[in-house]
A and B are shown apart, each in its own frame.
Chain A
Amino acid sequence: MLATVLASVALWAVVAAACMMVSSVSVGWPATREIFQLRREVVLLSSLVGAALAAAGVTYQAILRNPLADPYLLGISSGAALFAYLWRLPAFAAVAGALALSGQAASQQAFAFLGAIVAVACVLVLSSRNGRLEPVTLLLVGVIVNALNGSIFLLVYSLVGTLPSSGGALTLLVGGIQTSLTIEQKLVATIIIAVGWIALLAISGQLNAAALQDAEAEALGVRIQRLRWLALIIASLVTASAVAISGPIGFIGLICPHLARLLVGVDQRKLLPVATALGAALLASADAASRRLAGQGLAQTLLPVGVLTSLLGGPFFLLLLFQSRRRIDLSEGRSS
Chain B
Amino acid sequence: MAETSTSGASLPELVPKASFIEDVSEHLQGASVDDALNELRGAHQKYKYIEQEIVQRKQRLAFKQPEIEKCLASVKLLAAQKEEGTEAVLDFALSDQVFAKARLANVEAVNLWLGAGVMLEYSLPDAQQLLETQLAGCSRQLSIVQEEHDYIKDQITTTEVSACREVSMARVYNYGVSQRRTASA
- Binding between chains A and B: no
Interface residues of A (CB under 8 A from B): none
